[in-house]
Amino acid sequence: MRHSLTARLIVWSLALTGVVYVTTIGLSNRLGRRAAIAAAEREAADSTDATVLAVEGVVHATEASAAALARSVSEIQPTPEVLDRLLGRLSEDHRDTVAGYSAILAGQADVTSPSWYQDAEAGRPLGWTEPYRSAEWQNATVITRAFPIETPGGPFRGAIAVHLRLDGFTPAVRKVHLGKSGFALVLSRGGLLVAHSRRDLSGDAHNVVAELPSDLRALVEPIVRRAAIERSGFAAVPIDGRIFRLTLRPVADTGWLLATAYAEDELLADVALLQRTQIVLALTGLVILAVAIVVLSRRVTRPLGALSASAGRLATGDLDTPLPETTSRDEVGTLTTAFHDMRDSLKEYIRNLQAATAARERLEGELKAARRIQADMLPAPTAGTPSAGYELSAILVPARAVGGDLYDHFEHERRVFFLVGDVSGKGIAAALFMARAKTLFDAVASREPDPGAVLATLNRGLCQQNDAGMYVTAVCGVLDVDTRMVTFATAGHEPPVLVRANGLTESLDTEGGRVLGLIEAGDYPVSRRTLDAGDALVMYTDGVPEACDPAADFYGSDRLLAATSQSAAGTAMAITDALLQDVKAFAADAPQSDDITILTVKLTRQ
């Protein structure tokens, strides 16, 4: 089942859909996370900047009032009593943020004067002091800023100081709202906690960080460490076991640092909810899609399953097996129709193949019978013995089932008659023409001792009723064993090869005549040669010199002479077999293109 098309379609569809869903959810979550962090960073930055402006507004307003007071005193030079009333009135007007105003005139100063006066008298740069507890102002934690009383270019007349209560900054800081757990705090340049917005935490907020209560120190210490590294961005910092996003801003003129913290789990809560919603929707969609895919896959592949089962039975040879009916016009319907056509075509093909096979088997049987008949028509492949004074060996290898080559021989009154011929063409027609030529040779040679006359009579007989225009090349000869004289004539055929007992070979010269069967008028000159004991004559058809190797090179006459020379000392059968085996070795795997006939006659004694 797991290897079926339906299973693979379901698995791959769900796998690809799942990959798409997971990728989409992952990208959506990443983009949503980035967007949420960016929005929270903007919100935190806006809230931080607003708080910094509020704190700076209080500081700047206080500085402005104290500076104006110092200029006024320098101009009008009031009496100490008037100056005290003026300072009391200002302190009352700014009691929400200011602990009080102080003034020390030059004539009133001594060694116990506060540091802010001494700095103003010495002309040192003046700024806000670090937070401290003031016994003068009801033990409140304040910061002080002094302004000298002097006219431009005139003498130092004293100093005016304003004492700003730190608890006056708490309302501005507590306006920061960054989620449920977000908070803001202000740190002085000396490491004191100036203010914070955590209403749920009690304790004095105006201490050195190391001296704060543990709950406050857990919030402040990570921010102090981060502020020492960088003062920009929306950095993630672990605070009290949670990750907070920090925004840091300096407070002008004071050297303070305002930090706002936004809980990351809260700012990403909407992203997490969206992610959970997407996962639920994705799982629901996958379930619905899985059901749809299973139903559709089975509906689509059911006809294919039935068609596959029928095709399996067709593969076993059962061409009568029923095939599913074509019920649609889609690809499955087209495939079903194609299987119907294929089954019908196979039936027709098998019927034709069976008929053709039966016809071919009949033809092969007839060809085998024809080959047997052709072989039976030929004389024995060997004749003579050493004691008879000669040996004869012949072989015929047809290129097809039957061939057009022929050989013939017989002995009469110590004379050996022989014939080697090659009919034009191949196959059955050539075999029938060969049988006709052999029949005429048997009839003529028994009463005509002259080879030339035999060929002339054969020519006239073959020319009759030869509308197909077939012809025969032939070499015909007679060996007189007693006189050792061989007489031969050729008709368009290669002359015999003389193989001497000492291994010398030569192709015997002959005038030759035209081929047999085409033109009745013809002259076939006779050649004669006296043989010595051990000499042999080799006759052959053109299937020997024209045999081809796999490279399409011809065997040729030179190889023929070399092969017969090497076997000259052997019997007539040895010479014939040696030449045939050399031809086969040369041709190797190349197909035989023509019939091969070899006839060897050898004189064995004086």
Q: Which pLDDT belongs to residue 105? A: 85
Same domain, 332 and 430: no
Angle formed at CA 306 by CA 302 and CA 308, multiple of 5 degrees: 110
Residue 490 has pLDDT above 90, yes or no: yes
Same domain, 388 and 533: yes
Residue 447 placed within a domain: yes
Same domain, 453 and 577: yes
Reference 300, options 325, 328, 340, 323; nearest CA is 328
Q: What residues does 105 pair with on adjacent strands?
A: 158
Least reliable range by pLDDT among 120-124, 356-360, 382-386, 566-570: 356-360
Q: Which amino acid is at 2?
A: R
Residue 514 placed within a domain: yes
Phi, then psi, of 192 in degrees rounded to 5: -95, 145
Q: Tell whether pTM > 0.85.
A: no
Residue 506's pLDDT band (cuts 50, 70, 90): very high
Cα separation values, 510 from 365, 404, 452, 519, 562, Å: 43, 24, 12, 20, 21
Residue 551 placed within a domain: yes
Same domain, 333 and 397: no
Same domain, 383 and 511: yes
Reference 8, options 304, 253, 221; nearest CA is 304
The sign of the torsion formed by the CA atoms of 161, 162, 167, 171 equals negative
Residue 227 has pLDDT above 60, yes or no: yes
Residue 537 placed within a domain: yes
Same domain, 344 and 481: no
d(CA 240, CA 349): 88
- Residue range 49-100, pLDDT digits in tens: 888 888 888 888 888 888 888 888 888 888 888 888 888 888 888 888 888 8
- Last residue of some domain: 377, 398, 421? 377
Q: Would you state the structure tokens that stand for residue 71, as one six-digit string?
A: 């200029």
- Residue range 338-360, pLDDT digits in tens: 777 777 787 788 888 888 877 77
Percentage of the chain with pLDDT > 70?
A: 92
d(CA 313, CA 326): 18
Residue 205 has pLDDT above 70, yes or no: no
Same domain, 437 and 514: yes
Residue 108's pLDDT band (cuts 50, 70, 90): confident
- The number of angstroms, rounded, from the C-alpha of 123 to the middle of its chain's C-alpha atoms is 83
Mean pLDDT of the chain: 83
Cα separation values, 286 from 10, 23, 135, 273, Å: 12, 14, 74, 20
Q: Which pLDDT belongs to residue 576? A: 95
Residue 569 placed within a domain: yes
Least reliable range by pLDDT among 165-169, 204-208, 401-405, 546-550: 204-208
- Last residue of some domain: 377, 410, 439? 377
H or E stretch covering 587:
helix 572-587
Q: Are strands 405-412 and 527-530 parallel, antiparallel or unpaired?
A: unpaired
Reference 260, options 228, 226, 286; nearest CA is 226
d(CA 300, CA 480): 92
Residue 412 placed within a domain: yes
Q: Which pLDDT belongs to residue 572? A: 93
**What total number of domains does the chain contain?**
2
- Residue range 109-157, pLDDT digits in tens: 787 788 888 888 888 888 888 888 888 888 888 889 999 988 767 788 8
What CATH number is given to the structural domain containing 543?
A: 3.60.40.10
Q: Which domain holds residue 373?
A: 325-377
- Last residue of some domain: 359, 377, 395? 377
Q: Which pLDDT belongs to residue 201? A: 66
More confident call, 550 vs 275: 550
- Residue range 1-15, pLDDT digits in tens: 455 666 777 777 778
Reference 437, options 467, 409, 406; nearest CA is 406
Same domain, 423 and 536: yes
Same domain, 459 and 410: yes
Least reliable range by pLDDT among 111-115, 490-494, 496-500: 111-115
Q: Would you state the structure tokens that stand for residue 179, as one six-digit string?
A: 């989620």
More confident call, 131 vs 207: 131
Same domain, 463 and 503: yes
Same domain, 564 and 456: yes
Question: DSSP label at 107?
Answer: G
Phi, then psi, of 159 in degrees rounded to 5: -145, 145
Same domain, 472 and 339: no
Residue 15 placed within a domain: no
Query: Which among 104-108, 445-449, 516-520 has the top mean pLDDT?
Result: 516-520
Residue 335 has pLDDT above 80, yes or no: no
Residue 408 placed within a domain: yes
More confident call, 482 vs 399: 482
Q: Which pLDDT belongs to residue 474? A: 92
